[in-house]
Structure 1
Amino acid sequence: MLRIIDARTGEPVEAAPTRRGLTRIEVHASGFDASGLRVLLVADLLVRALELGGTPVWALLTGERQTAELRAAATALGIRPFEDSRGLGAALGEAQVVHVVSETGATAPEGVRLAVAPVDAVLPFTPTADGDPATWRLALLARRRTLPLRLDTDALEEARRTLAHWRRAVAHWARQPSRPVPEDVRGRLRGAWEDDLDVPATLRVLEWVETRPDLADGARFETYAYADRLLGLDLTRDVGSTG
């Protein structure tokens, strides 16, 4: 069960309080910058986590500033499209409304408020120009959403190395017979991301899976592929390559 901290109260709440009830997610992005894109990325993770749990989601984007640039960068980072919220009311069967906002931004309307800490970007923010924008996505995921993030050359280089290493490993494991994701591993993964979208803890589970001696390579492959349904890092990209 996915629980998130409501910034209004500081208390944990269920992101989907009604079984199979629709959760509406409204993203309040102030404009096209690293902090605004981090807000969209957190909303994307929330959508993915809810869908993995079987919850229907209606995702909307609010804001008037630089929306075309913001949407283009979001697409490059593998963030799913959000509908334009203007002129839209409540949906039939809506059970929960979650507003994803910058913690330094304006207050959101009624509903649960998911706050995202800002990004200190000390290099030109050009994910659409990067050879592999997934490095930007991983760099933005490296810290909990409640903590400020410094995005610099070192952070991007670390993300690039990690991503290349994991993709090589996944491509190698894919050559072995497939094995199901062990239930204890699945439980650890879900326990991490269902605890207020703790993505760094999810990444630590993947590091543990890589080195756990009793796991078959086919199970490692299926675990990384399963986790990537949340992370969106295209970890299976190099499967079948001859390099």
Structure 2
Amino acid sequence: MTLHVGPHALTSRAVHVHLAPGAGLRPLVVADVLRRVAERRRHRVRLTAAARFPADPADYNVRAPESLAPDTADVLISPAPAPGALLVPNETGAPDPDPLVTRLALLEAPYRVPVALTPETLRSAADRLARYRRLVAEWATSPGRPMHRPSAAEAEDALAADLDTPEALAVLDRLAGSGEIPPGAKLETFVHVDLLLGLDVVAAIGTA
């Protein structure tokens, strides 16, 4: 199945994603979600960068990019307008001490829209991530059930269509609030979708 991201269509089984010079944390996180979505659809993804990042990518659940020139990149991710590039504006403001709170705050807006890391946006992201982890820990004590495939498919389709991370998160919110879906199915679905979002929603399992 073809992965469509904005004007780009990744049709090759081997995909080269390159981060342009000057890319900050946000393009790095968006590139990582793109990699995860493409790999789930059985693409082989190479992530490279000309940028230097202000923190260790691994702290943000990002596989460190290779330090190579773009060559013939299938997708160029740039924080500034560039021919043929996927434009992902850099974040403004200081990141949260918890890198995954910052990651969530960066994913709560469409990748084309500027994001300011303010105390308010970071607090909201921290509350949301804590709620996800608390619910996942609670659901983990319930009988196991298969994941809710309609919700999983809805989130995957949003990410594959245009890296619509806000809609994928909205799917998780609706799933969490459903009174009809068993807790075990919610757990499996959250874990499945989180393999694409990279928020470590299972962090609180077993800590209660």
Q: Same fold (TM over 0.5)?
A: yes
> Which letter does structure 2 place at the counterpart of 1:41?
V
User: How far did 1:186 drift?
Assistant: 1.9
Q: Distance in 1 between matches of 2:47 and 2:62?
A: 11
Q: Distance in 2 between matches of 1:153 and 1:29?
A: 28
Contact 1:29 1:37 in 2 (8 A): no
Contact 1:116 1:145 in 2 (8 A): yes
Q: Distance in 2 between matches of 1:139 and 1:120?
A: 12
> Which letter does structure 1 place at the counterpart of 2:66?
E
Other structure's SS at 1:172 match: helix
Contact 1:29 1:40 in 2 (8 A): no
How many residues align? The count is: 207
**TM, length-normalised to structure 1:** 0.79
Please give the root-mean-square deviation of Cα atoms over the aligned residues, in Å: 1.9
* Larger-gyration structure (1/2): 1
> Which letter does structure 2 place at the counterpart of 1:54?
R
Q: Distance in 2 between matches of 1:120 and 1:85?
A: 26
Contact 2:95 2:117 in 1 (8 A): no
Residue 98 (structure 1) aligned with residue 86 (structure 2)? no
Structure 1 partner of 2:178 = 212
User: How far did 1:73 drift?
Assistant: 3.8
Structure 2: runs of 5 or more not aligned: none
Other structure's SS at 1:14 match: strand
Deviations 1:60-116 (A, max 9, x none): 0114xxx2xx16342221111110104x856xxxxx7111111x25x36xxx52111
Q: 2:89 aligns with which of 113, 117, 120?
A: 117
**TM, length-normalised to structure 2:** 0.92
Structure 1: runs of 5 or more not aligned: 7-12, 91-95
> Which letter does structure 2 place at the counterpart of 1:77?
Y
Q: 1:236 aligns with which of 187, 202, 206?
A: 202
> Which letter does structure 1 place at the counterpart of 2:49?
L
Shift in CA distance, 89/139, structure 1 to aligned 2, threshold 3 Å: closer
Residue 42 (structure 1) aligned with residue 30 (structure 2)? yes
Q: 2:101 aligns with which of 125, 135, 157?
A: 135
Within 5 Å, give how 1:187-198 maps onto structure 2: 187-198=153-164
Other structure's SS at 1:60 match: strand
Other structure's SS at 2:113 match: coil
